[in-house]
A and B are shown apart, each in its own frame.
Chain A
C-alpha cells in the first residue's frame, strides 16, 4: 500500500510561474487536505475536500487553487508563484471526521 503519494519531491520556480503539486491516495479516503509547513509556524491548512467535487478553504488559501474530480487525487495549483510561497507542502487524507490524517512525505518548493 503506497498511502499518500506526492510529486514532485522538490521544485524550484521563478516568481510568476505556475505549477501543480500532485497528491494521490490509494486508501479510498473521502477527506483530503493540503497543508504548508514553515519554520516557526507549524503546519497550516490551505484547502481541504470532503469528497469528490467538494472543496473548501482553510486558514491560508490565497494564491492557491484546488479541485477534486476523483476520490484518489487532490492537486494543488499555484496560480502565480511568489517568494512567500516558498515552503514545504504536505497532502493528507483521512477516512472521516475525527479520524487520523495520513500524510505524504511532502513537496519542497522554492520560489526565486
Chain B
C-alpha cells in the first residue's frame, strides 16, 4: 500500500534556528514527490516537485532533497513568516493523477 509519513508532527523554532522536516514514503514506482505549504484557512500552495533520487530544489530559505525512501525539507535561518503547515505528497506510476498526502508538519517560528 502506498503511504506517506511526515515527522515531526509539530516543530517550534526560534528565528534563525535551522532545521529539517522529514517525509518518508512507500510507493510502487514514484512518478513525483511534491512539497506544499498551507496557511490557516487557505489551500495548499505548491513549493517543489522532485522526480528522482539525488535531486535537489531550492527557493529562498527552503531546500528540498530526495532519496529512494524519503525527502527532506531543509529550512535555513527561518523567519516568523515561514510559520505554516508543510505537506508532502507522492504520485505513484499506476495511480493516475492521485496524490497521496502525509498528515503534515506544523512549523512555528518565533522571533
Binding site for B on A (CB under 8 A): 4, 31, 33, 35, 40-45, 48, 50, 56, 58-59, 90, 92, 94, 97-106
B101 adjacent to chain A (CB < 8 Å): yes
Query: How many Å from the CB of B82 to the closest CB on chain A?
Result: 19
Chain A residues, CB < 8 A from B104: 42
Cβ contact within 8 Å between A100 and B34:
yes
Given A31-B97, A50-B96, A58-B98, is A97 in contact with B43 using a C-beta cutoff of 8 Å? no
Closest to B32 in A: A98
Number of B positions contacting A (CB below 8 A): 23
**Chain A residues within 8 Å of B42, by CB:** 105-106
CB distance from B95 to the nearest CB of A (A): 9
Q: How far is the CA of A111 from the CA of B41 in the complex (A)?
A: 19
Tell me whether A42 and B101 are in contact in the complex, defined as CB-CB below 8 angstroms, given that A98-B32, A100-B34 are known contacts.
yes
Binding site for A on B (CB under 8 A): 31-32, 34, 36, 41-46, 49, 51, 87, 89, 91, 96-99, 101-104
| Contact between chains at B43 and A101 (CB < 8 Å) | no
User: With A42-B103, A90-B44, A106-B43 known to touch, is A33 a contact of B49 (CB < 8 Å)?
Assistant: no
A109 shortest CB reach to chain B, Å: 14
Kindly list chain A residues whose C-beta atoms are within 8 Å of the C-beta of B87.
Answer: 42-43
Residue of B31, B32, B51, B101 with most chain A CB atoms under a 10 A cut-off: B101
Given A43-B87, A98-B31, A98-B51, does the pair A48, B96 have CB atoms closer than 8 Å?
Answer: yes
Docked-complex contact A40 and B103, CB < 8 angstroms: yes
> With a CB–CB cut-off of 8 A, which chain A residues contact B31?
97-98
In the assembled complex, 14 residue pairs joining A and B whose CB atoms fall closer than 8 Å, in A order, are A31-B97, A35-B101, A42-B101, A43-B89, A45-B99, A50-B97, A90-B43, A97-B91, A98-B32, A101-B46, A103-B44, A105-B42, A106-B42, A106-B43
Give the residue of B45, B96, B102 whose beta carbon is less than 8 angstroms from that of A103. Answer: B45
